Amino acid sequence: MNGDFFITGTDTAVGKTLLSALLVAALNRKYWKPIQTGSCEGTDRETVMKLAGVAVDNTFPESYIFSPPVSPHLAAEQNGTEIDMRGIQRPVSMDALIIEGAGGVFVPINREALMLDLIRQLGTPAIVAARTSLGTINHTLLTVAAIRNAKVPLRGVVMIGRENADNRRAIERYGNVPVIGAIPWLERIDRQTLLSVFQHYFDSALV
């Protein structure tokens, strides 16, 4: 184990980048997003640098980057290419990394591989970003089951949004998985805010 974590989610736009920025700031990790789509709207790397208050040398370049805001396999196809899993290798660094995926675990990367295959290839424990709102129990339990079926180490779930204690308890009970932290609704997001959230809403012993 090198201390890396792979941040995946129950869906797209669930808060993976926000969680990644928080962990980069709180754990003093470096950031890497192997596959970036939707770069026409800006990159998650740029967002993490801004939110976590870190410089570019605290991040690593994407292995693949595409302009269209679609699934990796479609973005590559529209670019006239195909993502080669052999071309995605962990950056050479002694520092522990926060690695952010694209979408959820069953997002296709190419004609054969899913995001779950990339997590397994990198050999990195996963942390699941999940919404707190209606529907999260089903989405989160499906994601947890998929990760476990793939024999990928699962560190826990982080719930993002307005607090819902019932949903949290259900996920912990039926998924037999710890909720290791929460990110509440934030009016302002910057490095200091993220550090405060980690201190008050995360179990640092489990992260």
Position 178 pLDDT exceeds 60: yes
pLDDT of residue 2: 79
Q: Is the pLDDT of residue 80 over 80?
A: yes
Residue 185 is assigned to a structural domain of this protein: yes
Average pLDDT over residues 120-135: 97
Among candidate residues 30, 33, 50, 151, the one labeled active-site is 33
Query: Is residue 111 predicted with pLDDT exceeding 70?
Result: yes
pTM (2 d.p.): 0.96
Looking at 77-187, which runs of residues are DSSP E strands? 97-104, 126-131, 154-160, 179-183
Number of domains the chain contains:
1
Region 123-139: what's the mean pLDDT?
97
pLDDT at residue number 90: 97
- Asked if the structure places residue 151 within a domain, the reply is yes
CATH of the domain at 30: 3.40.50.300
Domain of 46? Answer: 5-201
Is residue 33 among the annotated active site residues?
yes
| Inside any domain, residue 67 | yes
**Would you put residue 103 in left (φ > 0), alpha (ψ -120 to 50) or beta?**
left
**Residue 59 domain-assigned (yes or no):** yes
Tell me whether residue 206 is in a domain: no
At residue 154 the predicted structure's pLDDT band, cuts being 50, 70 and 90, is: very high
| Identity of the residue numbered 127 | I
Q: What pLDDT does 205 receive?
A: 86
Q: What is the pLDDT of residue 206?
A: 86
pLDDT for 170 equals: 98
Tokens of 79: 């670019």
The structure tokens 């590559």 sit at 76
Nearest to 66 by CA among 36, 41, 44: 36
The DSSP bridge pattern shows strands 97-104 and 5-9 to be parallel
- Extract the tokens encoding 195: 């550090």
Examine residue 81 and state whether it is found in any structural domain, yes or no: yes
Residue 197 lies in a domain: yes
pLDDT above 70: residue 106: yes
Residue 126 domain-assigned (yes or no): yes
pLDDT tens, 40-76? 999 999 999 999 999 999 999 999 999 999 999 999 9
